[in-house]
Chains A and B, each alone.
Chain A
Amino acid sequence: MESMAIADCLREQFPEEILQTQTFQGQTAVIIRPGRVVDILRWLRDAEAVRMNHLRSLCGVDNARRKDPNLSRFEVVYHLTSIPLRHEIRIRAQVAEEQPCIDSVVCLWSGANWLERETYDLMGIRFNNHPDLRRILLPEDWQGHPLRKEYPLKGREEWAGMTDLLNRVKELDQFGFNPKADASGQFGPNPEKQP
């Protein structure tokens, strides 16, 4: 089926939820409200004519600097494809700026588990009903969400855990463990040879 035809079917099925349809370079994106995202994706997965059985990717986008005024602050983008029928579609669920959250689709594809954790970690969008929503790529005590547009490319401070780590080194130092001395002895310039 053509992507546009799928988008039309979707509009027929969920007239309240579809906000807009966009096509660029032959790929169709359907912009939806976040409320019934699980129902929409379940319909796309199970409907006989569509059968989108493969969730290709799931990611979050920060729309803070995009020009389109109709978009919310965040969106979660799902790429679906049908392996038997060989067609694909992109679903963009709009998520509000205040306490961004959306329903989890782990109940449909168990592989979405890590993708949603990644989106939470890097973009700060929470997923309701997620079995294990923790940070995944960054340390657990990390502050902020790096893929948001206001997050700086280069930070001024050290990672908070670094202080703990250095204190731990000092503590071990009492027992004769001195990494600095070892390092300078092995790799640093030899003080005796210097003039």
Chain B
Amino acid sequence: MTSPLKQTLECPVADGEGERYSLRMGPQHPATHGVLRVDLELDGETIVECTPQVGYLHRGFEKLAENRTYSQALILTDRLDYIAAMANNVGYCLAVERLLAISVPQRAQYIRTIVCEMSRLASHLLWLATHALDIGAMTVFLYCFREREILLDLFEELCGARLTFSYPRIGGVRQDVTTAFVDELQRFLQLFPSKVAEYETLIDTNRIWLKRTVGVGVVSGDEALALGLTGACLRGSGVDYDLRKHQPYDAYDQVEFEVPIGSDGDIYARYRCRMEEMHQSVRIIQQCLDQLPPGPIIGPDAPDLIMPNKAPARMEAGTNRYGTGLIRLIRDRSCYLDGEIYVATEVPKGELGFYFISDGSSRPYRMHIRSPSFIHIGALAAIARGEMVADLIANIGSLDVVLGECDR
């Protein structure tokens, strides 16, 4: 007969017959990266059922955008994925430009490519920092924030904001790059690859890291496609799908880069994909800086915004056929076409799509945002079922979700 003490010390084993209990993780849990609540049904430490509950940050952007002009709705996209707001802005502008058939000058395309990749670096750095912190590697967190700070300073130099940029404009970008910005960015590009190597020495072959990530949260390629995963989560499962290569936008068809593909589909494969993407981003930015063509930064037929300092937003103000003022453009209805468009871009989290329906007025009739985070959290239940509760934290981290984008 076993003593009562021994009974309590024996390891609980989940055989599916034990007593189940439910646990609510979040919405204030530090590892849920925002306000995500996960309702768990547990048997011992094994997850039987996992139900993510979202909506805490729902602000009704799709409804709001229907009641704003195209230029005004741009600022809403900053608040989607606030870690990489620049990439959202660019995705939004590209969709509106295609809808209204507005051309973008080459220089602006290159600048957008640079800022998109910078925001990819900033986003991946924050992902690595928090993901490592969740698993228990504190040092990586501090190292990543050190480099992310340089990127945020660069953004500040470029447009004056560190979080909500609204720097790209429909038809171009707001301000030209300064020499100080280019010099500082060059210095950063020289320095950064060695820093990535530094993170890799900390965790790449770390035994604790490997134990927590290898073979955990495995998603096969077909499963990932059925779940709608995109970005590094899909590529980690061995599916070659990167919109920068499939449907190149801005200057991505002018630069050389590789798309890292994993094969195992576990957390470690996704981690390796993102680390390799950082190296590729550095390559893209370097090529864009080298090739940066001279010229205007905003197209002649772009809708204008009145700038706070009253300076003309473009090189030759007043030469376009719609005049220079935003108000004039709203009155001129001939530039708004009647149609619908779906344009997707490869943001750090995955495929961000904007679906616009225009009925020929100055406001979108309907705007739908296909946000990768929403679909990734939707896939969490399928990925986490049958795994340990501690691995749920690692899974949420490796899916790389931002709740602002999920709830819209």
User: Which listed segment binds A: B29-37, B56-64, B166-174, B317-325?
Assistant: B56-64
| B359 touching A56, Cβ below 8 Å | no
Q: How far is the CA of A139 from the CA of B351 in the complex (A)?
A: 27
Q: Which residue of A lies closest to B228 (CB)?
A: A111
Whether, in the assembled complex, B227 has its beta carbon less than 8 Å from a beta carbon of chain A, the answer is yes
> Which residues on the A side are within 8 Å of B339 (C-beta)?
24-25
**Looking at A57, A65, A122, which has the most chain B CB atoms within 10 Å of its CB?**
A57
Known A109-B228, A111-B378, A146-B63; contact A56-B357, beta-carbon cutoff 8 A? no
Taken together as a complex, chains A and B put the C-alpha atoms of A137 and B339 apart, in Å, by 28
Q: State which of A95-103, A112-120, A178-186 sits at the interface with chain B.
A: A112-120
Question: B9-17, B76-84, B239-247, B276-284: which one contacts chain A?
Answer: B239-247
B152 interface residue per 8 A CB criterion: no
Tell me the nearest residue of chain B to A146, going by C-beta. Answer: B63
List residues 109-140 of chain A with CB under 8 A from any CB of chain B: 109-115, 118, 122, 136-139
Greatest chain B CB density within 10 A among A24, A67, A109, A146 is at A24
Among B325-371, those with CB < 8 Å from A are 337, 339-342, 344, 351, 353, 355, 357, 359, 365-366, 368, 370
Q: State whether A55 touches B228 (Cβ < 8 A).
A: yes
- Which chain A residues in 135-153 approach chain B with CB under 8 Å? 136-139, 146-147, 151, 153
Q: Per-residue CB proximity of A23-41 to B under 8 Å, as 1/0?
A: 0110101000000000000
B189 at interface by CB-CB < 8 Å? no
Task: Judge whether A83 and B239 touch: CB under 8 Å.
Answer: yes
B67 within 8 A of A: yes
Which residue of chain A lies nearest to B376 when distances are taken between CB atoms in the complex? A111
> How many Å lie between the Cα of A59 and that of B62 in the bound state?
11
In the complex, A54 has a CB within 8 A of chain B: yes
Residues of B within 8 A of A79 (CB): 342, 353, 355, 370
Chain B: interface secondary structure?
mixed
Q: Are B63 and A24 in contact (CB under 8 A)?
A: no
Nearest chain A residue, comparing its CB with the CB of B223: A110
Chain B residues within an 8 Å CB radius of A109: 225-228
Whole-angstrom distance between the alpha carbons of A139 and B359 in the complex? 31
Tell me how many residues of B have a C-beta within 8 Å of chain A.
43
Knowing A111-B227, A136-B55 are in contact, say whether A57-B355 is a contact too (CB < 8 A): yes
A140 to chain B, nearest CB (A): 10
Within the assembled complex, what's the spacing in Å between the Cα atoms of A29 and B98?
16
- Does residue B382 face the partner (Cβ distance < 8 Å to A)? yes
B62 to chain A, nearest CB (A): 6
**Cβ-defined contact, A114 with B353, below 8 A:** no
Most buried by A among B240, B342, B379: B342
Complex CA–CA separation, A151 to B62 (angstroms)? 13
Which B residues, 24 to 80, have Cβ-Cβ distances below 8 Å to chain A?
A: 54-55, 58, 60, 62-64, 67
Contact, CB under 8 Å: B227 / A110 = yes
> B63 near A147 (CB under 8 angstroms)?
yes
Q: Within residues 222 to 277 of chain B, which ones have a CB less than 8 A from any CB in chain A?
A: 225-229, 239-241, 246
Contact check: which of A53, A57, A153 meets B63 at CB < 8 Å?
A: A153
Known: A56-B342, A56-B351. Is A114-B375 also a contact (CB below 8 A)? yes
Residue of B nearest to A106 (CB): B226
Q: Does B407 reach chain A (CB closer than 8 Å)? A: yes
Is A6 engaged at the interface, CB distance under 8 Å to the other chain?
A: no
Asked if A137 meets B226 with Cβ closer than 8 Å, knowing A59-B355, A77-B355, the reply is no
Contact A83 B225, CB 8 Å, known A25-B101, A122-B62, A137-B55: yes
Contact assessment for A57 and B368 in the assembled complex, using a CB-CB cutoff below 8 Å: yes
| Cβ-based interface call for A61 (8 A) | yes
A193 interface residue per 8 A CB criterion: no
Asked if A138 contacts B225 (CB within 8 A), the reply is no
- Whether B225 lies near A24 (C-beta < 8 A) is no
A156 in the interface (beta carbon within 8 A): no
Cα–Cα distance between A53 and B64 once the two chains are bound (Å) = 32
Contact A56 B353 (CB under 8 A): yes
A24 & B341 in contact (Cβ 8 Å cutoff): yes
CB distance from A117 to the nearest CB of B (A): 9
Q: What does the 1/0 interface line of A51-93 toward B look like (CB < 8 Å)?
A: 0011111010110011100000000010100010010001000
Residues in B with CB closer than 8 Å to A61 are 357, 366
Chain A residues within an 8 Å CB radius of B377: 114
Question: A residues within 8 A CB of B298?
Answer: none
> 8 smallest A-B Cβ distances: which pairs?
A111-B228, A114-B378, A24-B339, A57-B370, A59-B368, A137-B55, A111-B227, A137-B58
Residues of B near any A CB (own CB < 8 A): 54-55, 58, 60, 62-64, 67, 98-99, 101, 225-229, 239-241, 246, 337, 339-342, 344, 351, 353, 355, 357, 359, 365-366, 368, 370, 374-375, 377-379, 382, 407-408
A-B contact pairs, 30 of them (CB 8 A): A25-B98, A27-B341, A54-B225, A54-B241, A56-B342, A57-B355, A57-B368, A57-B370, A59-B370, A61-B357, A61-B366, A65-B365, A66-B359, A66-B365, A67-B359, A77-B355, A79-B355, A83-B225, A83-B241, A86-B246, A110-B226, A110-B227, A111-B226, A111-B228, A111-B378, A122-B62, A137-B54, A137-B55, A139-B55, A146-B63
Inter-chain pairs besides A24-B339, A54-B228, A153-B64, 7 sampled, C-beta below 8 Å:
A25-B98, A25-B341, A59-B370, A62-B366, A65-B365, A79-B353, A137-B408
